[in-house]
Amino acid sequence: MVDKLETVLKVKNNMGLHVRPASHIAKLLEGSHSKVTMTYKGESVNARSIMSIMILAAPKNAKIHISVEGKDARETMEVLAQAFETQFGEKKF
């Protein structure tokens, strides 16, 4: 069975989706079998591509539409949501 999930996640880290978060997202998706698309301001990109994510130029507080389609869509969406929540490992305590 193939699931398709969609949600909107907010960019919480101070510098937005720059190279480090883009790399983090691409690395997280290496083990996923799902197709993952990120959309911001009408521009949709493959979330496995660091350069594509950077093209979005999403700043802090941007709302990113995430679409995940595949047999492991739920797990993939959970991993992405956690990454956005923890600011891609950049959260300062």
Q: Is the per-residue pLDDT at 54 higher than 60?
A: yes
Residue 93: what pLDDT?
A: 45
Q: Residue 2: which pLDDT band, with cuts at 50, 70 and 90? A: confident
Which amino acids are annotated catalytic?
18
Instruction: Choose which CATH entry (3.30.1340.10, 3.20.20.190, 3.30.460.20, 3.30.710.10) describes domain 3-89.
Output: 3.30.1340.10
Q: Is the pLDDT of residue 9 over 50?
A: yes
**Token pair for 76:** 């993939």
Evaluate if residue 92 carries a pLDDT over 70. Answer: no
Buried b (16+ CB within 10 A) or exposed e, 24-49: bbbebbeebebbbbbbbeeeebebbe
Across the chain, mean pLDDT equals 94
Residue 81 to residue 87: CA distance in whole angstroms: 10
Domain boundaries, the chain: 3-89
Q: What percent of the chain has pLDDT over 70?
A: 96
- Region 68-86: mean pLDDT is 96
Quick: pLDDT tens for 13-38.
999 999 999 999 999 999 999 999 99
| pLDDT at 91 > cutoff 70 | no
Instruction: Please name the amino acid found at residue 74.
Output: R
**Residues whose CB falls within 8 Å of the CB of residue 50, separated by 6 or more in sequence, listed in order:** 19, 22, 23, 26
